[in-house]
């Protein structure tokens, strides 16, 4: 097989790059080791039900956001359904905090639950930062800078409003809470920490203001549900790729990448592939294992994070009898005492829409549950059943469903995640934010500065469907910038 661009993996960042490059007339081949496309943003079928693999809510379709950019440049249309209420957070004292999708409504709710002190100023500030971050991200697609042309183009694209973001790279979210006199408000600090964990993969002292403010405000943008599961987010992109002459090969695990005089040779489980260019859409920890060239390995080494700095997940997939129509499909439940064996202090659950008969038959719904496990390599789960039961009790106590409605339960550990996805350590959510790593110090899209590139949740900008979509936009842009 020969391509202009061989793309390793079919995560949403990889598919974004594939679609944008195919649009420019390049022959693109996507090599996927699994039998389903989409990576962490997809669904899988089991016993007639469709469960989500990872991410369970969709944002990024508003103006100046990455998915909107992708759709505007390709004409792809997505079968989505906007959510009126993005999510609820269940606090230890029994209060339910509704994350309203409009700023004024959300500020009113935050003041009702946490008191008026500092809330309005804090959330108005975060929302303003988040809007400017998204706008700047699509204006500066040569960022992070890694060659002279990046520097020139970034300089030409600088706007005064972009410069106002710079101090935020040096402040943490802990600093921001201190500024608004909220750092001593323990319930609010706990709330923010657990919200950051599911978006930025870390806590207040480590997450910088730019990423933190953006992460905390994702519910203030249009949130969507995809009928049939997130695999139906992926399918239209693949259909577009096919119409442009590209293709995807399933069960095609890439085992080695070699640089040739005229391009690259990829050894896969289904034979050899040759291409002019390569884009790796898999994690850095996996990417480094594919390249035998020592110079490439050395270049990546400073960016790699070990298991002790990553998060895995304990996940559960439930089939339930449908209850009355749900107003809110996504819930985070705080567990201050921590879950047995893993110590996690919050659980996230997403229900399928009760009218979505693609994922479950009428009268039933499916639910995806996840909770973080720090340092997944160290946490070899010994008593999976105990964790499973503890999570169910937490969800039952909050009235999210009743015991008699449970039809089936299946759970998976980081080890199972690693087995099925091949992601190193079974890590989820991408690389966590750390205060010592500024945005311009994150790995940029160039792998070897010759013809190999990177995208996905372990390179700039990181986590979430909008983030990996942006990484795919940047990878495609830099490839075109370098060679066309």
Would you say residue 101 has pLDDT above 80? yes
Q: What is the pLDDT of residue 292?
A: 86
Contact 279, 454 (CB under 8 A): yes
HSE at residue 263, side-chain half, CA atoms within 13 A, is: 14
Do the Cβ atoms of 201 and 433 come closer than 8 Å? yes
Contacting residues for 264 by C-beta, under 8 A, at least 6 apart: 6, 257, 258, 274, 275, 276, 277, 278, 451, 452
Cis omega before residue 144 (within 30°)?
A: yes
The three-class DSSP label of residue 370 is strand
Q: How far is CA 95 from CA 54, 102, 108, 202, 215, in A?
A: 27, 20, 15, 24, 22
Residue 110 banded pLDDT, cuts 50, 70, 90? very high
> Taking the chain, what is the end-to-end CA distance rounded to the nearest angstrom?
23
Rounded to an integer, what distance in angstroms lies between the CA atom of residue 18 and that of residue 298?
27
- Phi, psi at 29, each rounded to 5°: -120, 125
* Unique residue bearing structure tokens 């309203």: 100
List where CATH 3.50.50.60 sits in the chain.
2-44+59-78+226-306+431-483
* Mean model confidence pLDDT for the chain: 95
pTM of this structure: 0.97
Q: Is the pLDDT of residue 54 over 80?
A: no
Q: Where in the chain is the domain with CATH 3.30.70?
A: 307-426
For residue 55, pLDDT beyond 70: no
CA-based nearest residue to 65, from 397, 467, 356, 396: 467
* Contact between residue 286 and residue 424 where contact means Cβ atoms under 8 Å apart: yes
With pLDDT > 70 as the criterion, what percentage of the chain qualifies? Answer: 100
Per-residue pLDDT tens over the stretch 257-301: 999 999 999 999 999 999 999 999 999 999 999 998 999 999 999
Q: In the CATH hierarchy, which top-level class contains the domain 2-44+59-78+226-306+431-483?
A: alpha beta
> What is the average per-residue pLDDT within 347-351?
96
Q: Does the structure show a pLDDT above 90 at 177?
A: yes
- Is it the case that residue 463 has pLDDT exceeding 90? no
Closest CA relative to residue 59, chosen from 468, 349, 457: 468
Tokens of 369: 């549950």
Q: How confident is the model over 382-397, as a mean pLDDT?
A: 94
Per-residue model confidence (pLDDT) at position 307: 96
Indicate the fold that domain 307-426 takes in CATH: Alpha-Beta Plaits (3.30.70)
Measure Cα distances from 299 to 4, 214, 425, 443, 448 in Å.
24, 29, 21, 10, 8
Q: From residue 253, how far is each of 33, 149, 224, 250, 279 by CA, in Å?
A: 4, 34, 32, 8, 14
**Tens digit of each residue's pLDDT (9 = 90 or more) over 356-365:** 999 999 999 9
- Convert 256-267 to b/e letters by CB count within 10 Å (16 or more is b): ebebeeebbbbb
Q: What pLDDT digit, counting tens, does each position of 425-446 carry?
A: 999 999 999 999 999 999 999 9
């Amino acid at each position: 097989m020969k391509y202009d661009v061989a793309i390793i993996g079919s995560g949403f960042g990889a598919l974004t790059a594939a679609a944008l490059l195919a649009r420019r007339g390049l022959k693109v081949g996507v090599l996927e080791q699994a039998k389903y496309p989409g990576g962490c943003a997809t669904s899988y079928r089991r016993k007639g039900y469709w469960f989500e693999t990872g991410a369970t809510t969709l944002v990024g379709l508003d103006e100046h956001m990455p998915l909107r950019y992708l759709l505007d440049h390709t004409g792809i249309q997505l079968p989505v359904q906007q959510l009126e209420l993005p999510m609820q957070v269940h606090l230890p004292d029994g209060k339910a905090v509704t994350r309203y999708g409009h700023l004024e409504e959300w500020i009113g709710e935050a003041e009702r639950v946490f008191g008026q002190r500092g809330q309005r100023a804090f959330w108005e500030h975060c929302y303003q930062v988040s809007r400017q971050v998204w706008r700047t991200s699509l204006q500066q697609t040569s960022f992070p800078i890694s060659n002279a042309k990046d520097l020139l183009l970034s300089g030409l694209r600088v706007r005064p409003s972009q410069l106002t973001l710079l101090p935020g790279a040096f402040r943490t979210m802990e600093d921001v809470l201190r500024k608004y006199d909220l750092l001593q408000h323990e319930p609010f600090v706990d709330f923010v920490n657990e919200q950051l964990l599911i978006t930025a993969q870390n806590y207040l002292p480590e997450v910088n203001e730019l990423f933190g403010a953006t992460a905390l405000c994702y519910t203030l943008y249009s949130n969507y549900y995809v009928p049939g599961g997130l695999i139906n987010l992926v399918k239209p992109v693949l259909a577009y790729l096919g119409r442009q002459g590209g293709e995807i090969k399933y069960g095609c695990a890439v085992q080695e990448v070699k640089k040739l005089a005229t391009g690259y040779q990829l050894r896969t489980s289904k034979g050899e592939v040759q291409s002019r260019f390569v884009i790796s859409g898999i994690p850095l920890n996996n990417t480094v294992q594919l390249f035998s060239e020592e110079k490439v390995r050395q270049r990546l080494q400073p960016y790699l994070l070990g298991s002790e700095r990553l998060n895995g997940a304990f996940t559960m997939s439930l089939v339930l009898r449908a209850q009355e129509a749900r107003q809110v499909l996504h819930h985070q439940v705080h567990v201050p005492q921590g879950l047995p064996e893993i110590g996690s202090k919050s659980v996230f659950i997403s229900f399928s829409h009760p009218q979505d008969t693609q994922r479950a038959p009428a009268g039933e719904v499916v639910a995806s549950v996840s909770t973080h496990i720090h340092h997944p390599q160290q946490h070899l789960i010994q008593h999976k059943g105990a964790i499973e039961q503890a999570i169910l009790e937490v969800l039952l106590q909050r009235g999210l469903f009743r015991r008699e409605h449970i039809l089936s339960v299946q759970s998976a550990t980081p080890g199972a995640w690693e087995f099925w996805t091949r992601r190193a350590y079974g890590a989820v959510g991408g690389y966590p934010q750390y205060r010592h790593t500024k945005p311009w110090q994150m790995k940029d899209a160039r792998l070897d500065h010759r013809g190999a590139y990177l995208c996905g949740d372990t390179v700039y900008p990181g986590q979430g469907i909008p983030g990996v979509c942006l990484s795919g936009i940047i990878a495609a842009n830099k490839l075109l910038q370098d060679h066309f």
